[in-house]
Amino acid sequence: MQLWKTPDLKNINSYLTFNGNCREAMQFYKECLGGELIFQTIGESPLSEQMPEKMKDCILHSTLTIGNLVIMATDMTPQTGRIKGNNISIMLDCESDNEIKSLYDNLSAGGNSIHPLENTFWGAIIGDLTDKYGNQWILNFTKQSIKNN
What domain range is 51 assigned to? 9-88
pLDDT number for residue 100 = 92
Is residue 127, in this structure, part of any structural domain at all? yes
pLDDT at residue 147 is higher than 80: no
Tell me the backbone φ, ψ of residue 125, rounded to 5 degrees: -110, 130
> In this structure, what CATH number is given to the domain that contains residue 74?
3.10.180.10
Q: Are residues 35 and 100 part of one domain?
A: no
- How far apart, in Å, are the Cα atoms of 1 and each of 51, 53, 72, 100, 109? 38, 44, 30, 14, 8
Does the global pTM surpass 0.75?
no
Tally: H helices and E strands in the chain = 3, 8
pLDDT (tens digit per residue) in 61-113? 999 998 887 989 999 876 666 666 667 788 888 889 998 998 899 889 899 99
Q: Are residues 110 and 80 part of one domain?
A: no
Q: Are residues 103 and 75 part of one domain?
A: no
